[in-house]
Structure 1
């Protein structure tokens, strides 16, 4: 019977074409508005590395002075000092550790037809690539020996490598970067982590990503200025060495453990380290040492803003308004079929059969509205993508959202059709037959 009622539902689309078109368009607009907004929110709050997000931790240590501090006060800074980052690299338990900061500089392309230009990058330690599962198209990360001596080596992103050298393997070639000659040791495959949780200072967390990577030790040796925020509670002395020795926060550290259960061990090490630093006269606030996994870090730093969540709620509110209008249109459509319902009831059709027939008709409306809503959602996402590169990275619908579009549309149609369908079941056959 389902197939029969489904065919009737498809044929019913031809009845009252104006009402049918209004229902489908109303439902499609509501679905498109809610799905496009939900897609953006889904991409913004998406776990960027689900296979190991529970094993990646970022520590926060408060180095600020005691003056003006209230116990329990939230630490707004999301970076740590250079000396704390280096000590974490040397001693923190875990399978991998990295410290990093954003850098930027000019490059002189080896191809003469391209003028010098600026590009943004990252200065991490070599564990960064394995920690965040960065794929390589050519070569590999720099060696431990390169890192130890701060060698002038660079890993390029694939788009940047193709821009500088063309579609060839550039490993071993040299380029002038930030005023120094660097040797290319690797090229990352097209890779994009959204959001960029590994570095939330400097730029949008939804930007395309880094164009080059150099060792942290190399960046420090060349005194490469950081591309991002820095917080200082004291007067910073002159020179780069003063920054390294200061309690200014401008570096991010990450630790990867073998399992999520190793978090307590890492937390204990962090607390013991802070106690040792207090004996040296540092960390006078005695503030709690925080440790976040990836999802906790996204929540703490407010990667998904309250405005985005509010927009999603408003979009679903608009969908509910569309449902109310759809209910009215369905009532109007089903009311003109009262005589048909009376004849079917007189011929022996039960109320449950009438209910199933008309409910399946609303499902057909929901499917058609879902297809149209999906097309409108794609169009809305394309318009959103035009607002900037970061939004272009977010305005992409994956298979989950594609399936959710049809679930929302069919569910909305069923919800809207419950009252009209129930009203259709209440038709009294005798009254309808007398009126004929």
Structure 2
């Protein structure tokens, strides 16, 4: 019977094509506006690494001066000094650890047809690639021994490798990078998580472009690589790279990977003990609380999803509600002219429940048609939004969950809009309709 009502609903769409087209269009526009904004919010606020986000932790200690500080003031810096990062690396706490900071400079291609050009990348430890599950196209990450030996090794992004070497495997070759010869040990496959949770501070931001290369922290320090990112020197510092390393300037991000979610308490205890020890040495005099963030807490703390994005979603759903009100009016008009049909069906023995099912399924057919058109409009809107900026291009695309949401929202909205008209249709009195014929 449901199949019959569905086919009947499809045929009834052709009874009044202008009215049907108007209902489908209104519903599609409302769904498209809602789904487009909801898709962007979904991509921006999703968990980029759900299976281990509770085990990836950011440690924070406050090394700012005490001048002007009042207990309870919020920390306004989200990076670490080199001294603290080096101590955390030496702690051997957790399964893996990595310091991260941006570096930039030039590449001198071996090809005669290419000129020197600028690139930007990251300095990190070998644990970085396993922690954040970076896929590899060729080769592999450098080893712990190469980290300890300050080796000049590099992992290229797929984009940079193809620019320099085409489709060939460049592993084992040497590349003049940042003014020094680096040996290529691997090529990372396309990898740019959304959002870029591993490096939210500085760099290209939460939705920026992927890094072009990766080199060891020790190598970047030894070569005094040009820093590429944000830096806070609240106490000031003397000129020179060594002075930067010895200063309290904060410019390095840090991540721990713990064995399980329970390792968070171990890290918190370590930070508290570390801060107490550093205070004895004359540092960390603010005695501010030491904090630990997992991935989702870090995204929230960095305000990756702003209030304006949430407000946009609410406004879009308000527009959808307005579209529903108009759809209800059109369905009332569509069903009211079929009162005679309902009267005849009731006189022939159809129950109010059967009438209700028929008209509600017909509303769902309208919603399905609106969902197809709404999906096309949503894809078009997302394409236009993505073309407006490089950052929006990263989040302005639809996944399978949002694809299904589009149809569910359209059909659900149509059924909701059809409840009142359907209920009114069920109240038709068969005798009155038969007398009027």
Shared fold (TM-score, shorter chain, > 0.5)? yes
Aligned positions of 1:10-409 closer than 5 A:
10-91=10-91, 93-200=93-200, 201-409=202-410
Could you give the per-residue CA deviations for residues 217-269 of structure 1, whole angstroms, max 9, x where no partner exists? Answer: 11111111221111111121110111111111110010001100111111101
What SS class does the counterpart of residue 250 from structure 1 fall into?
coil
Could you give the per-residue CA deviations for residues 35-66 of structure 1, whole angstroms, max 9, x where no partner exists? Answer: 11111111111111112111000011111111
Aligned positions of 1:417-432 closer than 5 A:
417-432=418-433
Shift of 1:403: 0.8
Please give the TM-score of this superposition, normalised by the length of structure 1: 0.98
Look up the match of 1:411: 412
Shift of 1:145: 2.6
Shift of 1:92: 5.1
Shift of 1:389: 2.1
Are the aligned partners of 1:83 and 1:245 in contact in 2 as well (CA < 8 Å)? yes
Shift of 1:346: 1.5
What SS class does the counterpart of residue 83 from structure 1 fall into?
helix
Are the aligned partners of 1:92 and 1:269 in contact in 2 as well (CA < 8 Å)? no
Are the aligned partners of 1:94 and 1:255 in contact in 2 as well (CA < 8 Å)? yes
Structure 1: runs of 5+ lacking an equivalent: none
What SS class does the counterpart of residue 349 from structure 1 fall into?
coil
Please give the alpha-carbon distance, in whole angstroms, between the structure 2 residues aligned to 1:149 and 1:245.
21
Please give the alpha-carbon distance, in whole angstroms, between the structure 1 residues aligned to 2:74 and 2:353.
59
Please give the alpha-carbon distance, in whole angstroms, between the structure 1 residues aligned to 2:16 and 2:237.
76
Please give the alpha-carbon distance, in whole angstroms, between the structure 1 residues aligned to 2:74 and 2:203.
21
Structure 2: runs of 5+ lacking an equivalent: none
Please give the alpha-carbon distance, in whole angstroms, between the structure 2 residues aligned to 1:188 and 1:211.
9
Please give the alpha-carbon distance, in whole angstroms, between the structure 1 residues aligned to 2:92 and 2:353.
67
Could you give the per-residue CA deviations for residues 85-127 of structure 1, whole angstroms, max 9, x where no partner exists? Answer: 1111111520000001011111112222122211110000110
Please give the TM-score of this superposition, normalised by the length of structure 2: 0.98
Could you give the per-residue CA deviations for residues 263-292 of structure 1, whole angstroms, max 9, x where no partner exists? Answer: 111110111001101111111111110100
Are the aligned partners of 2:199 and 2:205 in contact in 1 as well (CA < 8 Å)? no
Please give the alpha-carbon distance, in whole angstroms, between the structure 2 residues aligned to 1:76 and 1:294.
19
Please give the alpha-carbon distance, in whole angstroms, between the structure 1 residues aligned to 2:354 and 2:31.
29
What SS class does the counterpart of residue 185 from structure 1 fall into?
strand
Please give the alpha-carbon distance, in whole angstroms, between the structure 2 residues aligned to 1:110 and 1:194.
34
Shift of 1:296: 0.7
Please give the alpha-carbon distance, in whole angstroms, between the structure 2 residues aligned to 1:333 and 1:104.
65
Could you give the per-residue CA deviations for residues 180-208 of structure 1, whole angstroms, max 9, x where no partner exists? Answer: 11111110111221111111122121123
Please give the alpha-carbon distance, in whole angstroms, between the structure 1 residues aligned to 2:53 and 2:216.
24
Could you give the per-residue CA deviations for residues 139-161 of structure 1, whole angstroms, max 9, x where no partner exists? Answer: 11112232123222110011110
What SS class does the counterpart of residue 227 from structure 2 fall into?
coil
Please give the alpha-carbon distance, in whole angstroms, between the structure 2 residues aligned to 1:411 and 1:82.
55
The count of corresponding residues between Structure 1 and Structure 2 is 436
What SS class does the counterpart of residue 202 from structure 1 fall into?
coil
Please give the alpha-carbon distance, in whole angstroms, between the structure 2 residues aligned to 1:64 and 1:170.
44
Are the aligned partners of 2:335 and 2:421 in contact in 1 as well (CA < 8 Å)? yes
Shift of 1:335: 0.8
Please give the alpha-carbon distance, in whole angstroms, between the structure 2 residues aligned to 1:71 and 1:366.
57
